[in-house]
Structure 1
Amino acid sequence: MAASEYQPPRRLARGLASLAASVLLLVSCPGALFAQDQPAAEVDRLSAQIQSLQMAGRFAEAIVLDRRRLELLEQTLGAEHPRVADSLNNLAVLHGVLGDYAEAEALFERTLALRERAFGPTHPLVAKGLYGLAMLYGARGNLTEAQPLAERALAIRRQTLGADHPLVAKSLHGLAMLLMARGTGDAAAEGYFLEALAVWKQTLGEEHPEAARSLHGLAILCRLRGEVERAEALFLRVRAIWEQAYGPEHPDVARSLHNLAGLYLDQGRLDEAKPLFRRALAIREASLGTNHPGLAQSLQGLAQLAVRQGEPELARTSIARALEIQEHNLADSLAAGSERHKRDYLQVLTAAADTAISLHLRSSPADPAAARLAFATVLRRKGRILDVQSGSLAALRAHLAPADQVLLDQWTTARTRLATLAFGGLGEEVPVAADAGAAQSLQREAERLEAALSRRSAEFVALSAPADPQSVQRQIPDATVLVELMLYRPLNLQATRFSEQFAAPRYAVYLFDGRGALDWVDLGEAQAIDATAQVFRNAVRNSALPTAELKAAARRLDRALMEPVRAKLGGRRRLLVSPDGALNLIPFAALVDEQGRFLVERFTIQYLGSGRDLLRLARPASLRRPPLLMADPDFDRAGTVVDRLAAAGKIETRAGKFDALGFAALPATAKEVAALAELLPDAQVLTQAAATESALKRSSAPSILHIATHGFFLHPTAQAENPLLRSGLALAGVNVRKSGGDDGVLTALEVAGLDLRGTRLAVLSACETGLGDVEGGEGVYGLRRALTLAGAKSQLVSLWRVEDAATRDLMVGFYRELRAGAGSGDALRRVQLTMLRSRHYRHPYYWSAFIPSGDWRPMAELFARPGRRP
């Protein structure tokens, strides 16, 4: 409807008196602020038009005018004037409504900073910015960060405006929405909704469209609880209020229609749900544009309904379009913000991906179009954040300007301080616990700097360019199969409640080759497979377990996991395996087939984070510098320190006692790197006191990075919930926390900040360097992820505590095979087969701990002196 047709609700006037307390916060006479009357008149005219367009739901048009108003205000009043912040805040709201979250966040942050400088931290206008930022974070899934902002905004408004102010009701409503989204405070959420409704009723009237927002939130809560009749009555009431206030084509009306349709879908009232989904879709497309997140929600609902109605074509086209919209929005949202924010936002979008995969595997397994859509979705989503983060750092370093270097240095310093805080404090008596408040502050600062770096790097490269099957196909070698394992939640077609929309997670696998042939298997429920995998992990790590018992455990997992895959390989023996979930922590080479053979005897296996890795690995390494070998660090009185702390009961590395870490000497590693140095004649070798954390951080992109030392992986504690802070390496001086200017504890968080853009191979010859927190779809948050983020193209890491002599022999053999022209997967397999046939090392405990990931191509040229052919 046109702006001129809009008539404000009759009850709106009742709220004006309640807003009087806020009038002094704004400029009562805009014209008085300007030196001339003409700019004032133009600002007033634009303001009236913007308000009219917003009330009519024509947000894109409102943004154009608001940009013009902002330019006029900045030219006339200056960029720091509070009136400028009003326009900035309104622009932020508009961009948020249209789903442009990255732009909205930048505008809200600028608004908040300006108002805090102008008015101080407890002004109601500051609360307005806090509230807007909190709601934006909520829409992006950053709920943990959103809640304290919303609580702070509520406290300011209560203190300055009184408990019965409409803006207090708005804050109560927003806080209730966040608590409901977190799923941990339904009772508290309902209390806030009811408190907000009481204020709305007293100030604006219970039929006011703002009051209807809290009614709508309460209806959603009832739907989540399964209170069907109450939810339906509330949705219908809200729809009537918004239609009367805004007209039938407003986006808010579409929102009520969409949620009512979802309620009917829960109940199996499919014929009633379908027209509501379609109408919501039409309104959103007309008013919000073709790429709005709300449009994707309506399409997703329509797809799920079509699956339940047995309409696979409608389901496929609807979910395909929803995924395209999400992909469009991901490109902007993943180009900015910290990794945690990106991960949270991707979690908001998982339902659409699960729907596409479920549609194929469970409803249309014979439909090639559904298969291609599902596989393309896996490639687009799995490992997406790792790809973005590694690309961001690489792009930034390749185009480093002085201002970028300052940011990068600040970010690196913040992360080092965070790691030092977690692991520092080793005193003469009892270690001092790290300060949790300081750690949280440093974490926020590191994330702020990371977000700034993301914004800078986005100018140089399209970080979120989607991976497509055709691009990946071109990178798969001949006679090789990409084995893309993934977790998904199947649609529950018998669901009667929203919480039952998806069934228990399952594992599936897609097989893809260089000819474009695609196949798949639905492997079964993840819980059962994970339990079998854990039994196998326990067995393979136990060198004392008889081989027969180990093989029985390996065979059980193989039967569930790889036997169905082998049936589709057609005799091909080279596998690029991309695990998911807990399967990231097992050595596939040690599984046992139907004939009782280990898979290493039949296949060459290289690991990937996801099939999209092939696109990154295809880019040539930019630098060529001598290898760097580090081993046998002088841990400085390690035995004394360990004995003292053990006697005091402070050595609990598995439980996460960071400040109690102490390490014993590793003289065998000196022999290991001495043998490797003969194979790498131009390598730089750092041992004993020279093998410091600072020396490693000063190095830049060695062609090969080999570190032979202690590794560790710790369980979470209050001191460090960040998984990259709980795994790492011990270097010289670690036991006294002095390592050439650092503390000697090189965490994965710090490894991610190294410059390894030209590093072809990174080998961590240490215990448990392949472990970390498993994140579905994103792999293992630990050292191997950190090495990829730093730029290393391939890695060799371990899955359990390794034996010194076996590791030395494996490493020397591995490098000899590399020098002879083998790729990392082939090189490792040849050594493993030799060990398997030996007398002492035939148990998989000795030969299967290390796994090769990343680039599989030969690298014999790295073993020649510069200027000489290998």
Structure 2
Amino acid sequence: MLRGNRWRTELSGLVDTTIADPRPGAAQLSAVAAHLEVADVRDTGQAVFAFDELFRLAAHLSATAGPAAVEAALTIAAEHALRAYRRTADPGLVRGLARRLHRQGMVRLSLALLHRGASLDLGPGAGAVSASLLWNALGEARRSLGDLSDAAPAYAKALAALDATPGLYREERSVVLNNLGLLHQALGDPAAAKSFLVRSLDEGGDLMDRHSRATTLDNLGSVEVALADQAGPYRLSDEYVNEGAGRHLRAAEELFDEAQRLYEAELPRSLPDYVVSLLNHVEAAEQMRQPDRLDRLTARAAQLAADPSVPPETRFLAVVTRGRTLFDQGHPAEAVRVLWPCLAELAPALDLKELLPEGFNVLMEAAGAAGHRQLAEQAAAAVVGYDDTLLPWRLAVASERQARHLFGAFRYRTETVLGHCLPSAPAGEAPPWLYELVLRRKGVLAERQGSAWLRARDTGSVDTALLDAVRDLRRQIAELDVGGVDGVSIQAARHRLREAERRLDEAETRLYRAIGSAAPPAGRIVLPDLQNRLGPDTALVDITTMRRPGGSHRYVAFLVRGHGPVRFHELGEVGEVDDRLQDLADALATLPDGPRSLPEPPALFPPGVALPARVVISGTGLWGMAPWCVVRGPGGRPLIDGHTVSSVPSARSLLAVTPPPTAAGPAVVVGDPDFDLDYDRQVPFLLRWSVDRLEHTATEATEVAARLGVQPLLRGDATRAAVLNVRRPRVLHLASHGVFLDAINSLDEQREPREYVMRTAGGAVVTEERVWGSPDAGPTADQRALHRRRVQWLHEVGPAAPVSRSALVFAGCNAWLAGLGTGPEVGTGLLTAGEFALLDLHGTALVVLSACTTGTGAVDYSDGSMLTLRTAALAAGAACCLSSLWEVDDAATATMMSAFYRHVAAGSSPAQALRTAQLAMRANRPDPYYWAGWVVEGS
């Protein structure tokens, strides 16, 4: 062992010799590594000197020998840090070197060092605490990179290491719990985040110093703001407020005030965190619409952030928040003056996170409103570049729920870029790069939904047990969401659903990570590929939304042909167009009692546009439920008169067609379900609501089955389990009732008693909501009560998930509604869109949903897509789906189905067959109620 100056001098000499060699090799690095092996690992100063020398060597090698040599030199430093840790159980050198490696861009090596150190078993006591510190540091590093799925197990191991010694290490445990709270907030689960943060205060107690307590209180305030956002808008009108949101916001205000009081007592040391607290407070003021407080908070934060002790990222956030406030107050020029110098200075030095595109998005909006078009376009280019890198990375490690949570911000920025970069005229030629941006955003969430992920089975690249676990959890959640209220309060049912969703999040994250590592990266979708797919005889109308300078939120349609430029046409304000679409849908869905005039559909095409014979439309928002055949063409006539019309979820889906790995199986036809299953012999009372038999569906199913050469599943065989067990039929035909459960934010749920407990945690007052059970909680023998609760749940309370609101009805639904135990084959008798998307329909050419309202559903406002049974069929892998937008009597439906299949058998495509059948029915029954509600979606 060499000590002191001699050792340092020899190390510097070895590094100088290596640097002097124009072609340094492994021998020189081996000599440096050997010299570190004889160092005194207990001498921290010696270790820090060695790290400095190795970073000096790495800087030279980066310019002369390449990244492999740089990594080899810094790996020598990592090995020395680990040797010291094994000997002393002090994680300081490992943590310090990991931070330095991270700052130098050696992120992979930094993470590997923390993981190796944390994985060393140095025994209980101090060894467990050291391991916890390293696991926590690894979680922090992962979270800072946005890699939330890997941060979670690191934090869990940090907590587990401390839990081995209960009652001890409370401060360390408090830190890890605080970080778990921040993690779950980032994952979009504020309820879990609050639980961890309150536990952090409990653990820390009187051991927490003022700064630590302030940080946890501030984090808890941010979580209360997120819970308020979940509860809905704070101001319902000028006179009424949302009390649920208000309760959380008042708690947030108190927590922020106390945190800032503690930070102020610690200034100037606490200045960076004090600025962050002011910015977090801004979010509460925004929800409560307090412009004066917003102005004070953002001005103060921006002023303080100019201090050199405030990190660049916090300063960037403070300036962006101030710029946003100035812009919202109607001072765009002042916002540009504040934003542009700071963004230009700080952006190049910051790690790539959502903060960067968000900042440039604010600059784009302000510059556009101030008339600085060139600056707005420069900011738009920055936004697109950042988001193109961030979005695939974020989606690759996000569950479905997390993906929807994060995508809303990407969509908003995309809308803003479109509105600022399209020509200001209401119609014209769209820049190709701008429409390709739409191709890269619209539909990316839909690609992840459903059973497309099951195709991984065919390559053997993903553990089938993991796939089965995800599928089973999704089914559990669908069943809980539709029928999970039995014997418990609404609140308890929602709590049970959230717990299942958390388990699903974990499983989906592991699944998508496995699929992403096994599959090659997806290619970039470009306009020429789409035009080649369309060919000369097809035009695509792609509808999306944009935000013009000044904030106008508008629909815009892009017209894409097989060649030539892409044209765009503004369709109007989103709110006004939605009102017109809803009025049209309501009128068309009403049974006519004679000749009538109908609302004029919104214009979809500018005058004078020539369209080919085939038109494919991709809607968004309420356009996704438009009856395309009655929408007016460029000449003012309904599209059905001169064109074959079909729809697709997105233009991306036109390019996503892949051949099935095996031939499709026989067709499956299901119809005329026995909804009762003799429940009336077991229940001595009348039902408040039940499903009526559709007698004509028996004839329809029998005829269709005969055409397809199979036996239909009828009456008691027409169960949800029979449909769930379907795998890759050539055709799937389902003739039954369809329902849309539109109850949401019901008074029953709002008025249900809540139990809140106020107590102190870590010296602060916190309010916790306890899960409340109804007085008759638990199984009940009273079938009347159970029947009432099930009907109330479906029609007055409603499912929480949008994909659970659209459902098909199968055998035994009335028996379940009556309070009977129906068994796993029958279950609730309801098959939701979420479950339907889990079918394996890869290779299925056609799905026919011969049922009411199977084409309607909820709008997923994270990306504007529709969450319906028809989109679920495509998400499950089907090539094409025929569905209905409103309820038509089953006799008319049977007639339509007979004509449709006759034309398909004669060689027509589904879209052509539907058009021919609709025209024939229109000739006999001119009112669109009878024929216009059927739509074909898919290829």
Q: Same fold (TM over 0.5)?
A: yes
Superimposed CA distance per residue, residues 486-514 of structure 1 (whole angstroms, 9 cap, x where no aligned partner): 2333331xxxxxxxxx34x3211111111
Q: Which residue of 1 aligns with 2:14?
A: none
Equivalents in 1 of 2:882, 2:398: separation in Å? 30
Work out whether 1:837 is the aligned partner of 2:923: yes
Q: Which amino acid aligns with 1:845?
A: Y
CA contact (8 A) 1:392 1:457 kept: no
Larger deviation, residues 150-159 vs 268-277: 268-277
Higher radius of gyration, 1 or 2: 2
Q: Which residue of 1 aligns with 2:545?
A: 487
Q: Which residue of 1 aligns with 2:936?
A: 852
Equivalents in 2 of 1:643, 1:371: separation in Å? 66
Match of 1:152 among 186, 196, 205: 196
Q: Which residue of 1 aligns with 2:878?
A: 792
CA contact (8 A) 1:589 1:600 kept: yes
Which secondary structure state, in structure 2, belongs to the residue aligned with residue 741 of structure 1? helix
Deviation at 1:333, TM superposition (A): 1.4
Match of 2:858 among 769, 773, 793: 773
Superimposed CA distance per residue, residues 5-44 of structure 1 (whole angstroms, 9 cap, x where no aligned partner): xxxxxxxxxxxxxxxxxxxxxxxxxxxx999776548953
Which secondary structure state, in structure 2, belongs to the residue aligned with residue 762 of structure 1? strand
Q: Which residue of 1 aligns with 2:513?
A: 455
Equivalents in 2 of 1:325, 1:632: separation in Å? 53
Which secondary structure state, in structure 1, belongs to the residue aligned with residue 567 of structure 2? strand
CA contact (8 A) 1:232 1:263 kept: yes
Match of 1:321 among 346, 365, 382: 382
Work out whether 1:561 is the aligned partner of 2:589: no
Q: Which residue of 2 aligns with 1:16?
A: none
Larger deviation, residues 635-644 vs 60-69: 635-644
Larger deviation, residues 215-224 vs 230-239: 215-224
Superimposed CA distance per residue, residues 323-372 of structure 1 (whole angstroms, 9 cap, x where no aligned partner): 2211211112112332221011011223321211111346477896x633
Equivalents in 2 of 1:638, 1:487: separation in Å? 50
Change (3 A) 1:636 1:240: closer
Match of 2:305 among 236, 239, 246: 239
Match of 2:591 among 515, 522, 543: 543
Which secondary structure state, in structure 2, belongs to the residue aligned with residue 459 of structure 1? helix
Q: Which amino acid aligns with 2:261?
A: A
Which secondary structure state, in structure 1, belongs to the residue aligned with residue 698 of structure 2? helix
Q: Which residue of 2 aligns with 1:815?
A: 901
Equivalents in 1 of 2:144, 2:489: separation in Å? 48
Q: Which residue of 2 aligns with 1:17?
A: none
Equivalents in 1 of 2:520, 2:374: separation in Å? 33
Work out whether 1:697 is the aligned partner of 2:724: yes
TM-score using structure 2 length? 0.75
Q: Which residue of 2 aligns with 1:344?
A: 405
Work out whether 1:412 is the aligned partner of 2:471: yes
Equivalents in 2 of 1:432, 1:298: separation in Å? 44
Q: Which residue of 1 aligns with 2:369?
A: 308
Q: Which residue of 1 aligns with 2:644?
A: 604
Change (3 A) 1:714 1:297: closer
Superimposed CA distance per residue, residues 626-666 of structure 1 (whole angstroms, 9 cap, x where no aligned partner): 11111122223479499977x45x32xxxxxxxxxx33333
Change (3 A) 1:635 1:451: same
Match of 1:256 among 318, 334, 337: 318
Superimposed CA distance per residue, residues 47-101 of structure 1 (whole angstroms, 9 cap, x where no aligned partner): 33445678xxx37457743532431342454999553342232233234334445
Deviation at 1:757, TM superposition (A): 1.3
Q: Which residue of 2 aligns with 1:626?
A: 666
CA contact (8 A) 2:740 2:853 kept: yes
Deviation at 1:475, TM superposition (A): 1.6
Equivalents in 2 of 1:760, 1:693: separation in Å? 21
Deviation at 1:686, TM superposition (A): 1.7
Equivalents in 2 of 1:604, 1:110: separation in Å? 59
- Mapping of residues 418-437 of structure 1, within 5 Å: 418-424=477-483, 435-437=493-495
Q: Which residue of 1 aligns with 2:840?
A: 755
Work out whether 1:470 is the aligned partner of 2:528: yes
Deviation at 1:452, TM superposition (A): 2.9
CA contact (8 A) 1:158 1:168 kept: no
Change (3 A) 1:219 1:586: closer
Match of 2:112 among 64, 67, 82: 67
Q: Which amino acid aligns with 1:663?
A: V
- Mapping of residues 502-651 of structure 1, within 5 Å: 502-503=551-552, 505-550=553-598, 553=599, 556-557=600-601, 560-562=602-604, 565=605, 567=607, 569-591=609-631, 597-617=637-657, 622-637=662-677, 640=680, 647=686, 650-651=688-689
Q: CA RMSD in A?
A: 3.7
Deviation at 1:783, TM superposition (A): 1.3
Which secondary structure state, in structure 2, belongs to the residue aligned with residue 483 of structure 1? strand
Change (3 A) 1:320 1:367: farther
CA contact (8 A) 2:697 2:735 kept: yes
Q: Which amino acid aligns with 1:508?
A: V
Q: Which residue of 1 aligns with 2:37?
A: none
Which secondary structure state, in structure 1, belongs to the residue aligned with residue 542 of structure 2? strand
Deviation at 1:580, TM superposition (A): 1.4
Equivalents in 1 of 2:736, 2:149: separation in Å? 42
Deviation at 1:515, TM superposition (A): 0.8
Which secondary structure state, in structure 1, belongs to the residue aligned with residue 396 of structure 2? coil
Larger deviation, residues 729-738 vs 757-766: 729-738
Which secondary structure state, in structure 2, belongs to the residue aligned with residue 458 of structure 1? helix
Change (3 A) 1:531 1:37: closer
Superimposed CA distance per residue, residues 191-217 of structure 1 (whole angstroms, 9 cap, x where no aligned partner): 222211222234565754333322343
Change (3 A) 1:755 1:469: same
CA contact (8 A) 1:164 1:199 kept: no
Change (3 A) 1:516 1:255: same
Equivalents in 1 of 2:85, 2:865: separation in Å? 61
How many residues align? The count is: 778
CA contact (8 A) 2:418 2:434 kept: yes
Equivalents in 1 of 2:203, 2:737: separation in Å? 55
Q: Which amino acid aligns with 2:813?
A: V
Change (3 A) 1:631 1:367: closer
Larger deviation, residues 66-75 vs 462-471: 462-471
Which secondary structure state, in structure 1, belongs to the residue aligned with residue 534 of structure 2? coil
Q: Which amino acid aligns with 1:785?
A: T
CA contact (8 A) 1:607 1:852 kept: yes
Q: Which residue of 2 aligns with 1:14?
A: none
Work out whether 1:386 is the aligned partner of 2:449: no
Structure 1, unpaired ranges of 5+: 5-32, 493-501, 652-661, 856-870
Structure 2, unpaired ranges of 5+: 1-47, 50-80, 234-244, 745-796, 817-821
Deviation at 1:827, TM superposition (A): 1.0
Change (3 A) 1:98 1:537: same
Which secondary structure state, in structure 1, belongs to the residue aligned with residue 724 of structure 2? helix
